[in-house]
A and B are shown apart, each in its own frame.
Chain A
Amino acid sequence: AQSVTQLDSHVSVSEGTPVLLRCNYSSSYSPSLFWYVQHPNKGLQLLLKYTSAATLVKGINGFEAEFKKSETSFHLTKPSAHMSDAAEYFCVVTRGFSGGYNKLIFGAGTRLAVHP
Chain B
Amino acid sequence: DAGVTQSPTHLIKTRGQHVTLRCSPISGHKSVSWYQQVLGQGPQFIFQYYEKEERGRGNFPDRFSARQFPNYSSELNVNALLLGDSALYLCASSFDVGSENIQYFGAGTRLSVL
Contact = CB atoms under 8 A, between A and B. Distances in A.
Q: Do A and B bind each other?
A: yes
A101 B56 contact: yes
A49 B33 CA distance: 18
Interface in B61-97: 90, 92, 97
B16 to A, nearest CB: 28
Nearest to A36: B105
B44 interface: yes
Interface string A95-112: 111011111111111000
B106 to A, nearest CB: 5
Using C-beta atoms within 8 Å of the partner chain, give the interface range for chain B. 20 to 34
Using C-beta atoms within 8 Å of the partner chain, give the interface range for chain A. 20 to 34
A41 B6 CA distance: 13
Dominant secondary structure at the B interface? loop
A9 to B, nearest CB: 9
A102 B107 contact: no
Interface of A: 32, 34, 36, 41-46, 49, 51, 90, 94-97, 99-109
Contacts of A46: 102, 104
A44 B55 contact: no
Given A49-B100, A97-B97, A102-B97, 17 more contacts: A41-B107, A43-B4, A43-B105, A44-B92, A51-B99, A90-B42, A90-B43, A94-B99, A95-B99, A97-B98, A101-B50, A102-B56, A104-B35, A104-B43, A106-B35, A106-B44, A108-B42
Given A104-B43, A108-B41, A44 B97 contact: no
B108 to A, nearest CB: 6
